[in-house]
Amino acid sequence: GGHLTIYYGSQTGTAQMFAKQIASEAESHGFCSRVVDLQDVVENEDDAATRSKAIFFVATYGEGEPTDNAQQFWIDSISLDESATLDATLRDMYFLNDLDYCVFGLGNKQYEHYNNMGRFMDAALQKCGGSRIAPIGLGDDDDDLEGDFETWKDSVLWPALKERYVKEEDALAAAAVSAAATLPSCPYRVEYLTNGSAGQVASQDTIQTSSKHYSLSVDCPVVTRRELRDPSDPGSTVHMEIDISKHMDVMKYQTADNLGVLPKNDSSIVEAVASALKYDLDQRFTLQPNTQSDEAASTKHTLPFPTPCTVRECLTRYCDLSGPPRRSDLKQFAPYARDEIDRKALLRMSSKEGKAEYKEKIVEAHVGIADIVTKLCPSIVCPLEHFIMVCPRLQPRYYTISSSSTVHPKTIHITFAVLETAKKDGGKFKGLCSGHLEGVPKGDVVRVFVRDSTFRLPKQVERPVILIGPGTGIAPMRAILQERSHIRKTGGKEKHGANILYFGCKQRNLDYIYSDELESFQEEGTLSELHLAFSREQDHKVYVQHLLAKQSAETWRLIHDEKASIFVCGAVQMGADVDHTLQAIISEHGEMSREKAKAYLNKLALAGRFVNELWS
């Protein structure tokens, strides 16, 4: 069948997992393969012939952007300016030319720019003279991303590859190799360290690019934390301030950037997993590439996280023990189940036929890897390196910073809601990161790093800003108001643009967070207009988009005549509603069709004057 090169651009590890799954199945279909992170691509680093068959897994993150690890690749090789023609977009990375290729895009239909990056990649490669091996696959994370991938892989990708490249006798030989396999091979091995043995520290180059945040993050102390909601409200929203003064070299931030937080698993969960799998939590170990392994041979010799460390630190910081495992994770755990009933249950739930059972028993029941090895399938016996290989990695959670870097250069403020839902067994399920942060007392440290956000204030101070941030979407708006207040107080006599805020919550006396600060901004003249939507204070629901529609003529004047910037932060559905409202305003007052109004809004977005940070 020949050689497959499988590239991935991943934000949360899903595209990487899909890429590895294709690599693990390649041999049984008659192909050898290797997996490459798009961030590690060096132009023309290898003989182009070895890359003549390429599969790309490309995730679209947030509002249509490439993922962090794919960003440099896109910048180097493909222009993202939608106004540019594809002919002009490809630079000197000529290994992209004349490829036999196929693309699988990972996206979320709740976002407007569904699978932007995947579609763009598919079109760009064809423009470079590439030959499409199979039609593009599009996965929807809002529905069944894994199911979309499996259907495309089994019904589209492998049949197309085999028809084009594999002779019948090769296929039979490959199937025999696959059937003879027992436990999966592991790309690294654990070396346990004896007392006093330091162990070799893994160099930065050997850590997977997608895990670089483990090394970039630093421990910073919590100096302030307070509950923002009224005690009678059953929910919780916390204001937290983190001291970054000892790490100013790596923790410099700009107003309304994002703070990446590396959560920790609860110690009781870690101890339960170690007990079930008979691991010694205090044992120190180091990871080394296993050069005998098939997977290590098909990828660069990279490791999933920095070592040496203890087993306790590995399970606490690097393994996602609580999040719902994907169906493919269940399949990977199956060979380690000693009990046939456990093994069959894992294989059944990981199959297409077991989708409903998986949804009911795993996703809806909030069952994590910890529950599987301790309760659901207690016969699992898994060596530590294999557990590290098959357990999903603990991913950072991102919070939009709610402080101005000018006003608070040595502290970072964040505002987060503690997510809590009832489990079917009567227990409570808390969001991993918000639950972790909620439990960090003042004085203790959190492990954090700074990431750029798309929020950037206009350089011209006379330009107005329209801020739309209900609930915890208020976070970047608070940061922007602090910054604009500081500019007003320290600037000269030049004209300062208006600041207009739309905020929404349930009730004024329950969850109107930062009310004292907003009123103070109003009194000093920084906040020109404050529009409040209390959804539960009348018979019908009132949301921020309803208040925006009432100000349609003034909103159009600000956008069109005064070149206002619009910043939106909050839930995806709210973002979509605001988007539709703005289109209606532009269409009515700009006297243009809805289609032209949409194009007008897209133009504002490209100019950085219409910015969304949304979450599902």
Confidence check: pLDDT of 370 > 50: yes
Q: What is the mean pLDDT of residues 540-562?
A: 95
CA distance 37 to 16: 8
Pairing of strands 499-505, 610-615: unpaired
SS3 139: strand
Which run of H or of E encompasses 14?
helix 14-26
| Alpha carbon distance 132, 134 (integer Å) | 6
- Round to whole Å and give the CA distance between 429 and 435: 9
Q: Determine contact, residues 255/409, Cβ cutoff 8 Å.
A: no
Least reliable range by pLDDT among 156-165, 225-234, 583-592, 594-603: 156-165
Question: In this predicted structure, what is the pLDDT of residue 91?
Answer: 44
Predicted pLDDT of residue 285: 96
Nearest C-alpha neighbor of 315 from the set 381, 359, 370, 256: 370
Q: Among 52-66, 208-222, 484-498, 571-585, which stretch is predicted with the lowest mean pLDDT?
A: 52-66
pLDDT reading at 159 higher than 70: yes
Q: Which residue in the block uniquely carries the two structure tokens 């301030």? A: 241
DSSP state of 151: H
Helices and strands (DSSP H and E) totals, the chain: 24, 23
d(CA 141, CA 415): 26
Q: Which of 262, 261, 259, 256 is nearest to 569 (CA)?
A: 256
d(CA 446, CA 560): 44
Tokens (6 digits) for 357: 């059972």
Helix intervals (H) in 128-223: 145-152, 158-165, 168-180, 213-216
**Model pLDDT for residues 475-514, shown as the tens digit of each residue:** 999 999 999 999 999 876 678 899 999 999 999 999 999 9
pLDDT above 80 for 363: yes
Q: pTM here?
A: 0.78
pLDDT of 262 > 50? The answer is yes
Cis peptide bond prior to 308, omega within 30° of 0: yes
162 pLDDT band, cuts 50/70/90, is confident
The separation between CA 306 and the C-alpha centre of its own chain, rounded to angstroms, equals 21
- Where residue 44 falls among pLDDT bands split at 50, 70, 90? very low
User: pLDDT grade, residue 423 (50/70/90)?
Assistant: low
Average pLDDT, the chain: 85
CA atoms within 13 A on the CB side of 35: 27
Give the pLDDT confidence of 303-355 residue by residue, as tens digits: 889 889 999 999 999 999 998 899 988 988 999 999 989 999 999 999 888 89
In angstroms, the CA 407 to CA 576 distance is 32
3-state class of 446 per DSSP?
Answer: strand
> Residue 50 — pLDDT band, cuts 50, 70, 90?
very low
**349, 380, 381, 342: which is closest to 363 by C-alpha?**
349
Report pLDDT digits (tens) over 202-237: 555 555 555 678 888 999 999 999 999 999 998 999
Q: Which of 53-62, 151-160, 241-250, 273-282 has the lowest mean pLDDT?
A: 53-62
Domains along the chain with CATH numbers:
3-180 (3.40.50.360), 188-192+207-215+266-390 (1.20.990.10), 216-263+396-451 (2.40.30.10), 465-615 (3.40.50.80)
- Res. 411: pLDDT tops 90: yes
| pLDDT tens for each residue of 461-474 | 999 999 999 999 99
pLDDT bucket at 147, cuts 50 / 70 / 90? confident
Between 272 and 51, whose confidence is greater?
272
Which DSSP category does 188 fall into? Answer: E
CA distance 47 to 41: 13
For range 419-429, the mean pLDDT: 71
pLDDT given at position 118? 86
Average of per-residue pLDDT across 232-253: 95
In the sheet with 565-571, reading across from the earlier edge strand, the strands are 529-534, 499-505, 465-468, 565-571, 610-615
Estimate the crossing angle of helix 572-589 against helix 594-606, to 10 degrees: 120
Report percent pLDDT > 90 for the chain: 54
* pLDDT category of residue 32 using cuts at 50, 70 and 90: confident
Neighbouring-strand partners of residue 78: 90
- Residue 199 is predicted with a pLDDT of 56
**Can you tell me the mean pLDDT for 237-260?**
95
Cα 368 to Cα 150, 285, 321, 380: the distances in Å are 22, 25, 6, 14
Alpha-carbon distances, residue 561 vs 183, 459, 555, 556 (angstroms) = 67, 17, 10, 8
